């Protein structure tokens, strides 16, 4: 979508896009100044949290950055999308949260890339929201597990935590464990509804549990260029969040929604598609920002 396409014919542009994905080594993304941990949160359901988590993570991994996805949603959608085993009993984020195993014990390598790890969620996580209530340091169990030593041992550059559509203890654990929040916003009616509640929760966590927390990234998803509404939502969100909002907007695309059914990210399923390219562009923007965060 960037200005680079101006002098290209549509076919050339398409070929260029495919080349970028098929030969990722030609376009390495910069390593962040320091490891980045991003929580992907929005208590609204179906806005593209999981889709953005797995595709951004895959894009960074395909471009040489060691990336870890934590599936923190009992639905296990991120695990499914990355084709990671997550039957009940599989070592998962649940056992990590209750302190039975380490991140390294639970992390599996994805077939999408040798740089892409995933700690899956099994249905066992469904009870965790309640079990955690009576546990010591219940809000910071994920943070403890994601220690620098544990992540150094795996050589991780990026961690993405995929949250469930709620503001319960699992999401709080994710907000305590991360420095950054990435909020996907669907270009739809009511897009901003409920966002105030999310931002207030983030402020509460910041005030009491994690002063370093910051909403670093807003990603507009499921943009449908045929509707006036999508443009209205886009400008409203940009007006609100300014540069926090990525320039890249993820289009609504059938390929993006089909990919998880094949246990693939859209980057593997259809590398030349607009959906794949837009996630790649978004990942590049995120990675470029990561090089400027030295002061953090």
Spell out, one character per residue from 99 to 118, where the chain touches ligand ATP: x when CB under 6 A holds, - when not. Answer: --------------------
Window 255 to 274, contacts with ligand ATP (CB under 6 A): 256-257
In angstroms, rounded to a whole number, what is the distance separating the alpha carbons of residues 45 and 71? 15
What whole-number distance in Å separates Cα of residue 161 and Cα of residue 72?
A: 7
> What mask of x and - would describe binding to ligand ATP in positions 200 to 229, judged by CB under 6 A?
---------------------xx-------
- Cβ atoms 263, 82 nearer than 8 A: yes
**Minimum distance, C-beta of residue 256 to ligand ATP, in the bound complex (Å):** 4
Task: Kindly give, in sequence order, each residue whose CB lies less than 8 Å from that of residue 247, ignoring residues fewer than 6 positions away.
Answer: 285
Closest CB to ligand ATP among residues 171, 221: 221
Stretch that binds ligand ATP, among 44-52, 57-65, 99-107, 238-246 (CB under 6 A): 44-52
Question: Least CB distance from residue 180 to Mg ion, whole Å?
Answer: 18
Does 50 participate in binding Mg ion (rule CB under 5 A)? Answer: yes
In three-state secondary structure terms, 34 is coil
| Phi, psi angle pair for 279, to nearest 5° | -65, -35
Among 252, 264, 271, 290, binds ligand ATP (CB under 6 A): 252
Residue 49 within binding range of Mg ion, rule CB under 5 A: yes
Minimum distance from CB of 103 to ligand ATP (Å)?
Answer: 22
Distance CA 66, CA 117 (A): 8
Least distance in angstroms from the C-beta of 173 to ligand ATP: 16
CA–CA gap between residue 277 and residue 28 (Å, rounded): 15
- For the range 106-109, what are the long-range contacts, defined as Cβ-Cβ under 8 Å and sequence gap of 24 or more? 107/68, 107/154, 108/84
- Residues in 52-81 that interact with ligand ATP by CB under 6 A: 73, 77
Task: Show the tokens assigned to 273.
Answer: 């598609």
By the 8 A CB rule, do 54 and 82 touch?
yes
Binding site for Mg ion (CB under 5 A): 49-50, 77
Binding site for ligand ATP (CB under 6 A): 45-51, 73, 77, 165, 221-222, 250, 252-253, 256-257, 275
């Amino acid at each position: 979508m960037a200005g680079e396409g101006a002098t290209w014919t549509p076919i050339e542009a398409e070929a260029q896009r495919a080349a970028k994905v098929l030969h990722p080594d030609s376009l390495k993304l910069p390593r962040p100044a320091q490891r980045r941990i991003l929580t992907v949160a929005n208590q609204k359901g179906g806005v593209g949290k999981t889709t953005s988590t797995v595709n951004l993570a895959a894009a960074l991994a395909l471009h040489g950055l060691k990336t870890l996805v934590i599936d923190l949603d009992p639905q296990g959608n991120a695990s499914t999308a990355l084709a990671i085993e997550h039957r009940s009993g599989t070592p998962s984020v649940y056992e990590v949260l209750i302190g039975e195993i380490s991140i390294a014990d639970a992390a599996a390598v994805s077939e999408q890339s040798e740089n892409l790890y995933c700690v899956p969620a099994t249905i066992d996580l469904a009870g965790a929201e309640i079990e955690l209530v009576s546990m010591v340091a219940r809000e910071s169990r994920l943070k403890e597990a994601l220690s620098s030593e544990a992540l150094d041992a795996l050589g991780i550059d990026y961690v993405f935590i995929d949250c469930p559509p709620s503001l319960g203890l699992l999401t709080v654990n994710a907000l305590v464990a991360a420095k950054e929040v990435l909020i996907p916003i669907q270009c739809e009616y009511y897009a901003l509804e409920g966002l105030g509640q999310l931002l207030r929760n983030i402020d509460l966590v910041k005030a009491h549990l994690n002063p370093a927390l910051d909403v670093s990234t807003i990603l507009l998803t499921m943009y449908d260029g045929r509707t006036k509404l999508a443009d209205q939502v886009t400008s409203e969100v940009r007006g609100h969040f300014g540069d926090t909002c990525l320039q890249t907007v993820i289009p609504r695309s059938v390929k993006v929604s089909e990919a998880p059914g094949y246990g693939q990210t859209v980057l593997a399923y259809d590398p030349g598609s607009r959906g794949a390219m837009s996630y790649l562009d978004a990942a590049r923007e995120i990675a470029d920002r990561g090089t400027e965060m030295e002061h953090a």
